[in-house]
Chains A and B, each alone.
Chain A
Amino acid sequence: MLLAHPEAEELGQFVEGTLDEPERTAIVQHLADCDDCRMLVVDAAEFETQSAVEPQKWGIARWLATAAAVVFVVALGSFSNHEYRENAAGRRIDLVDDAAHFITDCFDTSIRDGEWLLKHLAPGPSSPDPLVKVEEDYGKLKARPLEARLSGFRHVARHTMRGENDDGADVPTLILQGDAAGVAELRGDDPQTLHARGIAHLLAASTATEANEIRSERSSAVALLQEAANRAPDNAAYQTDLAAALLTAGDKNSRDLAIAHLKKALTIDPRNPEALFNQALALRDSDPKAAIPAFQRYLAVDPSSPWADEARTSLENLQEAP
């Protein structure tokens, strides 16, 4: 028997896996037979997965504020210690004359006393790029699945292999799909991880065969890339890759949005080849007249790569068009 619909918050707890027995079992029993509530749960789970925008309980601003406070306290401690030692040595501290000594001392103390903090704050060795393997295997594809350029991805010819792949994906594509699935499952909400996950979903969308899957993966890709771009607004690559994802939708609104992001990318980095290339592609489909100078701008930056050959072909086609 189907009982009354559970409260919204109880369904929310179920989605987040925080509901204890026996309430969890009751919800499972209800959801097994209630399509409406199951739909709510599925969509709430998707929103949680996609957005990654819920204000974090321990947000980065609070981290920085705390870090600054700790540095201040440690530095103050160091200063007192320094002053004490200087006084004990019978010498008054003079911050102007002794600045270098003081700063070095502060730093030493800070490093010693605040090692845990530095683990969080110091840039340290740069974190490995989660897309390294994906980029490598993308380069082995027989045909490029996306027309737009992705930042850091090498050129792959864009054949249309109609009829060749009727039996399913080829081996390099399967390998790439495996890589992408791994990256898509990464945890973390820093811009680099969000960007990598977005790219992984985008590649999953562009190599999928079912319309349903393509839409779902593309939607995840756009959400994640948008979030990466929001969190690192000065990163031209993130703007460019977001535009590449939007361009796969093929509709006018998405194309206009993509053009806006590409403009932003080119404001940050006016000679960014991927942004210039994608801008020309986007304009080719919406405003062919404007696409001609856009391709020319691209070729001025990159006159000789295989991408340039593609740009030249597109340019010739546009110039020949009536």
Chain B
Amino acid sequence: MNWETFFLDNLSLIERVIAFVCRKFGLTGADAEDFGSASKLKLIDNDYAVLRKFEQKASLSTYLTIVIERHYLDQKIHEWGKWRPSMRARQAGDAAILLERLVSRDGLGIAEASTVVRQKFTELDARALERLAASIVVRQPRRQSSVERTEEMREPASEASAEDELLSGEREVAARRAGAVLSRELDRMPPEDRLIMKLKFIDAMKVSTMARMLKADQKQLYRRIERLVAMLREALLAAGVAMSDIGDMLTHGTDALRIRFAVPDRDPEEGSS
């Protein structure tokens, strides 16, 4: 096979995949162009080695999506270390990814991280930043801040009352306890159950898509998810984490895992099956 011809014949698909990955990670303008060029080079490199490796066991579009996104992640490991933006941040775009990186990876407070983000994304106003901050998943930083404080970075204004701070501290403790219970319970689950929970609640994947991947019946899968959620709720209750605390944590954005613990009455996507 002439791999150059194959590459050119599928250039439109390749570009669609690149555009998709750019959209996923909020790459725009010159960043998107650079990534597009680097991705194409990656496919051409070493006499089209990546394409030659393709055995047509999967569709070309799926294969390319995985190869090109993996290429992006490899680039970012080099740049950022082993940190990954959350799905939420990726969907919200570049500014959210930066904000999350500063908070989750570098350990900055929301206020100072927001200041840094605002320096780069000057079009964002305070409200937009506030919305972004509310949308990101705050994880424990892996290390202390490596970003030096600059003059522009003001100390976060302390407007909260003592009572608010106390409540916030209590929430934080409850959130950590809940997070620990959840991690422990997820670790105890069989791998497929653990994967299902992550796909459903962290990645917000549709049950129909999940059923196809796992070769499972959609309705049975939905019941399985209900059962797993019920199990997690029981574990939380047993550990002394009240459902009201969970609701409070979700409302105030202090949680580590944004799982909806209430078993939904009915999943809308089950409607047609």
Contact = CB atoms under 8 A, between A and B. Distances in A.
B78 to A, nearest CB: 14
Interface string A41-58: 111110111110111000
Could you say which of A12, A28, A41, A219 has the most chain B C-beta atoms within 10 Å of its C-beta?
A12
The number of chain A residues touching the other chain, given as a range, is 35 or more
A11 B73 CA distance: 16
Could you say which of A16, A39, A185, A216 has the most chain B C-beta atoms within 10 Å of its C-beta?
A39
Interface string A165-178: 00000000000011
A43 B91 contact: no
A154 interface: no
Interface string A17-43: 110000010001101110110111111
Could you say which of A45, A54, A213 has the most chain B C-beta atoms within 10 Å of its C-beta?
A45
Interface stretch (B98-106, B211-219, B227-235): B211-219
A126 interface: no
Contacts of A45: 205, 209, 213
B121 interface: no
B204 A9 contact: no
Interface in B167-192: 191-192
A32 B194 CA distance: 6
Contact of A211 (B53, B67, B135): B135
A16 B84 contact: no
B65 A43 contact: yes
Task: Name the prevailing secondary structure of the A interface residues.
Answer: helix
B55 A216 contact: no
A8 B17 CA distance: 14
A17 B215 contact: yes
A185 B272 contact: yes
Contact of B271 (A16, A17, A50, A181): A181
A213 B205 CA distance: 11
The number of chain B residues touching the other chain, given as a range, is 35 or more
B212 A17 contact: yes
B198 A16 contact: no
A241 B141 CA distance: 44
A42 B199 contact: yes
Nearest to B93: A215
A38 B195 contact: yes
Interface in B15-29: 16-17, 20-21, 23-24
A79 interface: no
B59 A16 contact: yes
A85 B189 CA distance: 77
Interface of A: 7-18, 24, 28-29, 31-33, 35-36, 38-45, 47-51, 53-55, 177-178, 181-182, 184-186, 211-213, 215-216, 219
